[in-house]
């Protein structure tokens, strides 16, 4: 399945896949592939970093749910619904101006920085909770192609760990996981 190209619809599709993993999780304290994180922390990361990033670039505020520490399912649902409403409503025309990334249309910024993050963290949550961890291969290829030229910048940001070596003939999802610092074998016996 190839994801939609339009940012609002891509957000809907990517977050629906993540929501399915949220709803299917039963052990929120299970270790996640990000060092020191649990399944709960994956949700916490997504609901906590984006509102501040959005607010600093637009002045907009998203509805906030309960803490992911208390209720990760409700925290995620309130958050993802708020982002989707933002993309579908008149506030989507708000200029996005951030000192580190410049100016761009708000839906493009959400897609580039946030929806892509949700997409990659879908694997983290799925692996932590023993669910379907398959990601859309074309999106994996697109992300890998877009990130490879800025690898040094990405790694220097502290947001990505060191590249994990994978076989040269690995599928594109495995190559993407290794590129972003995930061990594709995490949690396997």
pLDDT, tens only, 117-159: 999 999 999 999 999 999 999 999 999 999 888 888 888 877 7
pLDDT at residue 119, as a whole number = 97
The predicted-structure confidence for 22-58, as pLDDT tens digits, reads as follows 999 999 999 999 999 999 999 999 999 999 999 999 9
pLDDT at 4: 80
On whether the CB atoms of residues 65 and 77 are closer than 8 A, the answer is yes
Average pLDDT value over all residues in the chain:
94
Residue 84: burial class (beta carbons within 10 Å; 0-12, 13-18, 19+): middle
Structure-model confidence comparison of residues 106 and 158, the more confident one: 106
Residue 99 has pLDDT above 90, yes or no: no
CA atoms of 42 and 75, how far apart (whole Å):
12
Rounded Cα distance between 19 and 23, Å, is 6
10 pLDDT more than 80 = yes
Kindly state the average pLDDT of the residues 89-100: 94
125's CB contacts (< 8 A; 6+ apart) are 18, 21, 22, 25, 32, 39, 42, 43, 131
Residue 69: its pLDDT value, please?
Answer: 96
* CB proximity list for 5: less than 8 A, separation 6 or greater: none
Length of the chain, please?
Answer: 189
pLDDT at position 154 is 81
Whether residue 189 is predicted with pLDDT greater than 70 in this model: the reply is: no
Cα four-point dihedral sign 157, 86, 108, 18? positive
Averaged over 93-122, what is the pLDDT?
A: 94
Report pLDDT for 58: 96
d(CA 42, CA 173): 19
For residue 88, is pLDDT > 90?
A: yes
């Amino acid at each position: 399945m190839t994801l939609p190209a339009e940012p609002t619809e891509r957000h809907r599709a990517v977050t629906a896949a993540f929501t399915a993993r949220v709803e299917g999780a039963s052990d929120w304290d299970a270790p996640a592939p990000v060092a020191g994180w649990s399944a709960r922390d994956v949700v916490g990361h997504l609901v906590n970093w984006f509102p501040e990033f959005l607010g600093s670039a637009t002045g907009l505020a998203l509805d906030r749910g309960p803490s992911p520490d208390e209720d990760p399912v409700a925290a995620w649902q309130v958050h993802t619904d708020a982002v989707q409403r933002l993309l579908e409503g008149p506030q989507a025309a708000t200029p996005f101006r951030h000192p580190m990334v410049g100016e761009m249309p708000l839906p493009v910024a959400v897609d580039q920085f946030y929806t892509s993050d949700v997409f990659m963290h879908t694997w983290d949550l799925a692996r932590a909770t023993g669910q379907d961890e398959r990601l859309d291969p074309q999106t994996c290829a697109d992300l890998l192609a877009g990130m490879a030229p800025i690898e040094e910048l990405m790694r220097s940001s502290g947001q990505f760990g060191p590249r994990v070596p994978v076989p040269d003939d690995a599928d594109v999802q495995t190559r993407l996981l290794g590129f972003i610092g995930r061990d594709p074998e995490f949690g396997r016996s």
